[in-house]
Structure 1
Amino acid sequence: MKLSSLKGQTAIVAAALTLAFAGAAHAEVPSWCGPNKASLALLDGYGGNSWRLVTTASGAAEAALCPSITDYQYADGQGNTQKAISDIKSMAAKGVNALVVFGDAGPAVLPALKSAYGAGSVVVPYRVVVGGEEGKDYTKFVGSSFVDDGVSWGNWIKSILPDGGNVLFLSGPAGNSQGTDELAGMKQVLDDSYVFLNPAPFDVTNWDPALTQQVLSAEIAKNPKIDVIVSDFGPSLVGALATFAKFNRSIPAIATSDGNSLGCFWADNHEANPDFKLFTVATGNDNVRLAVQWAIAEATGGTPPTDKIFKAPVFEDSVSGQPNAVQCRADLPGSIYLSAVMSADDQAKAVNK
C-alpha cells in the first residue's frame, strides 16, 4: 500500500500514519471492505493537537484493515478555511476515490465537497455539520450523537444531585452545534431545579485551556456555589481546576469527556477535594473509524455499516465505578484518550513522534 501526505505535512502526522498501518497489517478483512481497489484521503480542517493526532492515527488504522485501499493520503487544513477548501479540491483533482472530511469550517467547505462529489469521488464529511444533502452534495454524513452525551451527563447529575443544583456548562466556539446539541440532551433530563449559571447556551472557551482558565476563574468569583461543571472537552479543564484552591473551595463534580491528563489529575487531587466526583463519556476519536468504514464501503463495493451516527459510550464514573473507575496511565502522556480503540501505548507513540 502506498502511504502519502501532501507536501508540507509534519513528520508527526507521517509517523502516526505509518504506525497505524503497521499495526493493522494482519487484521481480518471486514465486511465493509469490498473487492474493488480504491484510494482514500483523510482531510482535517485542523490537525494540530493531540486529539487530532490520535484521531488521524485511528482513521489510518481503520483504513489499513482493508487491503483494497491501495493509496492513503492525509491533508491538514491547519485551521485555514481556504487551505482546507484547497485540499479537498486538490484531492478530487488527483482522482482520489474517497474523501473523509473533518469540515471544521462547517458550511464554508460545502461547495468544495459538492464539487468533489460531482467529479465522482465518494465524499464523507463527519462530526461537524456542513449543511447540504446526502446523495446530492456528498455521499454520506457521519455524525456524532452529542445529544446522547448530554443525556448521559444529565442522568448522572440527577443521580448525584437528586434535589437539583447549580450547573456550569462550558463548550467550544460560540454557536457550535456540538454544545447546543449537548445542552438539548441535558434539558431532556434536568428540570428547572437545575440552574445553569453560565450565559445561554454555554460559556465560550474555544476548547482552549488558557481561555478555559480565564472563564472558569471569572465564574468561580461570581458564583459562590457551583455544584457541577459540564465540559465537552475534559482535558482543557485540567489547568483551570487548580483555580478552586485559590478560592479555598473544593473542586466540584465534573461531567465531561475523557482524557488521560484529566484522569490522572483526579487520581492526584480527589482526596483533597471531597466534592470532586468525575463522570466521562468517550471523547470520540473513533468517530473517524465509522466515517472511514462508510467511505471504503462505498468506494470498494463493500457492505456499508448499519450506523451512520457515532454514539460515544459512557467511559468512567468515580461514584459507581461502572463501566470503569477513573483511568490513569501516569507512565504515558496526558495527551492520550484511554477510551479510544487504539491502545494507549500506540497513542503515545503517535503523539510523541
Structure 2
Amino acid sequence: MKRKQDIHMLTTRKTFGAVLATAALFALTACSTGSLSSDAPAAESGSEASGDITVGTVGVQADIQDISAFCGDEDITVALADGFGGNSWRKITRALFEAEAAKCPNITKVLYTDAQGDTQKAISDINSLVAQGVDVIVTFVDGGEALLPTIQKATEAGVSVVPFVGSPGGEPGVDYVDFVSEDIATYGKNLAEWTIETMGGEGNLVMLGGIAGNSYSQAVYDGVMSAVEANPGITLLNEDGPVATDWEPGKTQQVVAGLITKYGDIDGIVADYGGGSVGGIRAFEAAGKPLPVWSANDSNEFACLWYEYKDAQPTYQIATESSRNWVVVAALHKGLAATNGLPNDEPSTYNLEIIEDSTDPDKMPTCEPDLPADAILSSGLTVDQLTELFK
C-alpha cells in the first residue's frame, strides 16, 4: 500500500537522526505556545516535510482545499484518536472528520478511539491503531509531551500522524507530518484584550481551561497572561495556570461556584470552551452574582444565554472566536497527502478573529433556538448535520 511510501519515509528517517539532538529545543517551544505563532520564522517561510507537505505556514480557513486533491487511489484506513471525547466540541469534531473522510471513495475504513482523558489509554489507543495497520492517524493530544514517544514510533512504522489543536511537542515534519491548529496564544491574547477593554481595564479576571495539564489550555493561558501583563489594573485570580473544568458544563458550574465563594467579585472571564462556559453562567445565576464580561469560543447556548440576561444585566457582554472544529479537516488532508506522496500546502496554523461581539452591532451573537444548545455554528457542519447529530 502507498502508506509505506518507502522513499519518503526513508528521507524522514535519515533526517530524524540528524535533528534529534535539537528536537528537544523545538519541543520546548512547541509546548510553550501549543502552536507556531504568527511571527515565528517557520511560519513566515514554511518548510517541507516528507511528500512535499508544507510545515509551519500561517493562513485562514479559506485556504483549506478540497479533499479530492489528497484522496489518492489505493484503499486507505484513517483514524481519529481522541484524547477525550466527552463533550459536544469533540462530538462535532468527530462528525466533521467522518463526513470529510466519506468524500474519498478509497477510504474504506474510518476508526475512532476515545482515551477518556487518560494519557495511558491514549498511548494504548495509538499503539493499537498502528497494530491494526491504520494509514493515517489524526489525534487531539490531551496528554502533551507524554504522547510524543508513541507518536514518533507510529511515524517510524510508516503511519502518517497529524496532531491537531493539542500539541505533543517535538518537531512537525520530523516526529510527525505536521501540527495543525489555530494560533493558540494569539487566540487567548485577543479574547483577553477584548475582555479587559470591556471591563474598563480594571477588576478581577479568571481564565477557565479544560482537563488539568493539557497543553492547549496552557497555551491559551500564556496568551491571556501577555494581555494581563500589559494592564496593571487587572488582577488575574488564577496565577498558577488555567482553572481546570474538564471542558464539561456540569464541572464548570461546580468550579465557578467555588471561585465565586473564594473570591467574591469576578469581573471578567476568558474561557477556552464556550460550551462549558454555560455551566459557569448558571453558577453566577445560582449565586445571585452579576454576570461578568465573558469571552470564549462560539456555542449556540452561550449566545442564547446572553440574549436571556442582557436586558436585566446591561454590563454583561460576550465575545467569541470560532470554535474551529474545522481544523480537523486540514489535519486529515495533510495525513492523506503524506500517505499518498502528494503535495499539500495548506496552512499549519490558522489565524482567528472575533466573530461575535455583543458590543458591536455588526457582530451580534447568533442564537438559533431551533438548533440544539450544543450546536457550534462555526464548526463546518451544516444546520441539518448539527440537528441530526444532536437528536
Is the contact made by 1:281 and 1:316 (CA closer than 8 Å) also made in structure 2?
yes
Tell me which residue corresponds to 2:114: 76
Is the contact made by 1:44 and 1:76 (CA closer than 8 Å) also made in structure 2?
yes
Q: Distance in 2 between matches of 1:253 and 1:124?
A: 36
Query: Match of 1:231, as an amino acid?
Result: A
Tell me which residue corresponds to 1:140: 178
Tell me which residue corresponds to 1:50: 88
Q: Distance in 2 between matches of 1:327 and 1:232?
A: 19
Q: Distance in 2 between matches of 1:220 and 1:78?
A: 29
Q: Distance in 1 between matches of 2:104 and 2:182?
A: 23
Tell me which residue corresponds to 1:308: 348
Tell me which residue corresponds to 2:165: 127
Tell me which residue corresponds to 2:156: 118
Aligned residues: 325
Q: Secondary structure at the match of 1:169?
A: strand
Is the contact made by 2:191 and 2:296 (CA closer than 8 Å) also made in structure 1?
yes
Tell me which residue corresponds to 1:61: 99
Query: Match of 2:159, as an amino acid?
Result: S
RMSD over aligned CA atoms reads 2.5
Query: Match of 2:355, as an amino acid?
Result: F
How far apart are residue 69 of structure 1 and its match? 2.9
Counterpart among 192, 217, 239 of residue 279 in structure 2: 239
How far apart are residue 116 of structure 1 and its match? 1.9
1:220 counterpart = 2:260: yes
More deviation, 219-228/338-347: 219-228
Alignment of 1:57-206 (within 5 A): 57-189=95-227, 190-206=230-246
How far apart are residue 112 of structure 1 and its match? 2.7
Sequence identity, in percent?
Answer: 35
Deviations 1:231-250 (A, max 9, x none): 11122222332333454432
Tell me which residue corresponds to 1:12: none
How far apart are residue 320 of structure 1 and its match? 0.4
How far apart are residue 68 of structure 1 and its match? 4.3
Query: Match of 2:199, as an amino acid?
Result: L
TM-score (norm 1): 0.82
How far apart are residue 196 of structure 1 and its match? 1.1
Gaps of 5+ in 1: 1-26
How far apart are residue 162 of structure 1 and its match? 4.2
Q: Secondary structure at the match of 2:69?
A: coil
Q: Distance in 2 between matches of 1:29 and 1:213?
A: 40
More deviation, 133-142/281-290: 133-142
Q: Secondary structure at the match of 1:299?
A: helix
How far apart are residue 29 of structure 1 and its match? 5.3
Q: Distance in 2 between matches of 1:90 and 1:246?
A: 45
How far apart are residue 295 of structure 1 and its match? 0.5
Is the contact made by 1:32 and 1:305 (CA closer than 8 Å) also made in structure 2?
no
How far apart are residue 308 of structure 1 and its match? 0.9
Is the contact made by 1:50 and 1:351 (CA closer than 8 Å) also made in structure 2?
no
More helix as a share of residues: 2
More deviation, 326-335/175-184: 175-184
